[in-house]
């Protein structure tokens, strides 16, 4: 279960219309919760960037449920590099990823059961 404070920080960090300034709120990001929020937001932004890159090349992401806890696996193929990226997300992290612009359209229909 994700801490509600961490979730709100990540939501604000991912919100393009009203981003949270890390300089203005540096005391918040010095706490363990703030550091976790920064790390998670960075990870989700990077994953969203890679999803867009795959879609631009015509390769849709594969999203599968992992286990009974609602965890998900997002698998991206980079055929031009002959590589893959696999990200394991909790249900809450996936919900935050869907808040990134363009991700509901990119991933919403890709979610499939194993």
Angstrom distance (rounded) from CA 88 to CA 90: 7
pTM, rounded to two decimals: 0.83
Angstrom distance (rounded) from CA 45 to CA 87: 12
Which tens digits make up the pLDDT trace of 72-102? Answer: 999 999 877 788 999 999 989 999 999 998 9
Helices (H), the chain: 4-14, 32-56, 91-97, 103-107
Angstrom distance (rounded) from CA 36 to CA 32: 6
Angstrom distance (rounded) from CA 5 to CA 21: 16
């Amino acid at each position: 279960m994700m801490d509600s404070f961490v979730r709100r920080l990540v939501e604000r960090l991912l919100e393009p219309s009203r981003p949270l300034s890390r300089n203005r709120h540096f005391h918040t990001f010095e706490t363990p919760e703030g550091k976790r929020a920064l790390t998670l937001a960075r990870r989700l932004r990077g994953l969203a960037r890679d999803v867009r890159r795959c879609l631009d090349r015509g390769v849709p992401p594969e999203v599968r449920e992992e286990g009974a806890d609602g965890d998900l696996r997002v698998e991206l193929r980079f055929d031009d590099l002959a590589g893959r990226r696999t990200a394991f997300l909790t249900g809450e992290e996936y919900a935050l990823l869907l808040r990134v612009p363009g991700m509901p359209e990119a991933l919403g229909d890709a979610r499939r059961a194993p």
